[in-house]
Amino acid sequence: MIYLTFDDGPVPGITNLVLDILTEFDIKATFFCVGENIKKNPELFQRIIQEKHMIGNHTYNHINGWEKSVEEYIRNVKRCDELISSQGFKAEVKLFRPPHGKIKKKALKQIGNEFKIVMWDVLSYDFSSKLSKEKSLNKSIQYTRAGTIIIFHDSEKTRTNIEFIIYQYISHFVKKNYQFSTIDRLFLLN
């Protein structure tokens, strides 16, 4: 099993492309959405929901948890949560991923009372201008193993790489008989 996750969307053009590829392979993924992007792109957010992908909270403004007070950070997470709920998304398990993986311990503890905190073991570097899309793909494949949670990004910074990397990554592991699932299933099984 591999858990595909996408951070930073929804973003027109890029999120649509990712959803099209997931549909082609009949795969569900988890999208850690930024509140302001949901607000700007409500139709695209609804498409993620309608296609039965999982939604996670990625703060309202994609803020760095080390640079904000705990109180400000918690307010930002709650603002995103309220927006997600107002758009009609309900989940058995609420998921949260801190942008950049940066969060203060006190904030982590408070958020952990309401959300399952989801980190990762493979970062695709699909956003890196210093790494070719081929190297990003090869490193992502190299470090993936059964149970991997991998981060991709459905954001502007991945526009030139995402289609190639996602399509080839999924193709590779489908040929090896891997299955793909949403993160909430991991928590519901335990």
Non-local (6+) Cβ contacts of 64 within 8 A are: 99, 100, 102
58 catalytic residue (yes or no): no
Which residue is catalytic, options 7, 8, 81, 126? 7
Which residue is catalytic, options 58, 153, 154, 184? 153
153 catalytic residue (yes or no): yes
Give first-to-last CA distance, the chain, whole Å: 15
Angstrom distance (rounded) from CA 91 to CA 85: 9
Q: Please give the single-letter amino acid code of residue 21.
A: I
Exposure on the CB side of residue 122, measured as CA atoms within 13 A: 23
Helix orientation angle between 42-50 and 14-25, rounded to the nearest 10 degrees? 10
Q: Name the residues annotated as catalytic.
A: 7, 153
